[in-house]
Amino acid sequence: MEPSARIYVAGHRGLAGSALARRLAAEGYRNLVTRTHGELDLTDQAAVRAFFAREKPAYVFIAAAKVGGILANNDYPAEFIQSNLAVQTNVIHEAWRNGAKRLLFLGSSCIYPRDCPQPIKEDYLLSGPLEFTNRPYALAKIAGVEMCASYNRQYGTRYVAAMPTNLYGPGDNYDLAASHVLPALIRKMHEAKVRESDRVVIWGTGKPRREFLHSDDMADACVALIKLPDDKFDEVLRGPNGFPLINIGCGEDQTIAELARTVASVVGFRGALEFDTAKPDGTPRKLLDVGRLRRLGWSPRIDLSTGIAAAYKDFLAHDGGTKKKDAISEAKT
């Protein structure tokens, strides 16, 4: 990818998209194209068509998506499937119409069957029933993977679908009603420390195992992928069962209790951790098999404690996580 390449990061203000934009800017890519949701609604086909015709990006990262926790997925299933199908259909199709050289579509590990063996290999896609609560989201993302596969097959494009594990990092969502477990723990521990509370209650038994990757590591992996030489990139595209699919993770997990202890130590909360076992645990383990990524020579750089410390600093610097920031407003065209 030449330094002057025109690169479009869709969703550049989100957790994943802002990390991608930061990474590309740090590597000296200055020809980034970005639009906020307010400036360009990616569900609007005509607007996306006009945008691509004008900007003609050579490389496209799709980090725009309607994303949410169990509650939001459960309450708004129609919006989750409609919005995600529309965003990815419009972007992938217009990228093709305008001759984008490479495209990276971001999905998530929820595309894999609910009860699949661990660690989760790319081969397990479509091998069993999905988790019901986020099935509309997962099916939209699976359709996105199939779109990449089908465009590659019919039109000879080079579109890859990357599936990251749980992410955390700058610009995360710390709203307890919508946040994922790690940012929720950061907020709860911080508030307990400020209130001088002697305990924090955590949902479930603390026994489920989860994997976490810093968003900057995710971005590093995605940029490394899109920059692969043709032969290596094409190898990725010839993924399992014909899917151009690759998992992105660190390959290690820990229990929620271990995670909570790490967060407590970073935040400086010294009270007790109480587990509310009446609340559901969810799936016992969710760990991605990252063998394909490792064989390309990539491995993460940010260990969990260091990453959580950086996330906590960012949380404190942005009104306790109530604000999202435009990480690359200076790079906007």
Ligand X SMILES: NC(=O)c1ccc[n+]([C@@H]2O[C@H](COP(=O)([O-])OP(=O)(O)OC[C@H]3O[C@@H](n4cnc5c(N)ncnc54)[C@H](OP(=O)(O)O)[C@@H]3O)[C@@H](O)[C@H]2O)c1
- Enzyme catalytic residues: 137
Q: How far is CA 180 from the centre of its chain?
A: 12
For the chain, how far is it from start to end, CA to CA, in angstroms? 19
Q: Which of 117, 119, 116, 120 is nearest to 130 (CA)?
A: 116
- Residue 49: CB minimum distance to ligand X, A: 14
Residue 205 phi, psi dihedral angles, 5° rounding: -85, -15
Piece in contact with ligand X (CB under 6 A), picked from 8-16, 26-34, 93-101, 276-284: 8-16
Of the pair 193, 318, the CB lying nearest ligand X is at 318
Residues 26-85 within binding reach of ligand X (CB under 6 A) = 37, 41-43, 63-67, 83
DSSP state, 287? -
Binding of residue 325 to ligand X (CB under 6 A): no
Pick from 69, 164, 300, 307 the residue near ligand X by CB under 6 A.
Answer: 164
One-letter amino acid at 98 equals N
Query: What is the pattern of x (binds ligand X, CB under 6 A) and - over residues 94-133?
Result: ------------xxx-------------------------
DSSP state of 110: G
# chain residues binding ligand X, by CB under 6 A: 24
Q: How far is the CB of 108 from ligand X (least distance, A)?
A: 3
Q: What is the dihedral of CA 89, 83, 166, 224, to 10 degrees?
A: 30
Please state, in angstroms and rounded to a whole number, the distance separating the CA atoms of residues 243 and 84: 19
Give whichever of 108 and 157 is closer to ligand X, judged by the CB atom. Answer: 108
Judged by CB under 6 A, does residue 22 bind ligand X?
Answer: no
Provide the CB-side half-sphere exposure for 160 (13 A, CA): 30
Q: Which lies closer to ligand X via its Cβ, residue 29 or residue 212? A: 212
Smallest separation (angstroms) from ligand X to the CB of 106: 4
Residue 180 found at the interface with ligand X (CB under 6 A): yes
Pairing of β 32-33 and β 212-214: unpaired
Residue 160 as a binder of ligand X (CB under 6 A): the answer is no
Report CA 198 to chain centroid distance, whole Å.
34
Q: Could you list the residues that contact ligand X (CB under 6 A)?
A: 11, 13-17, 37, 41-43, 63-67, 83, 87, 106-108, 164, 166-167, 180
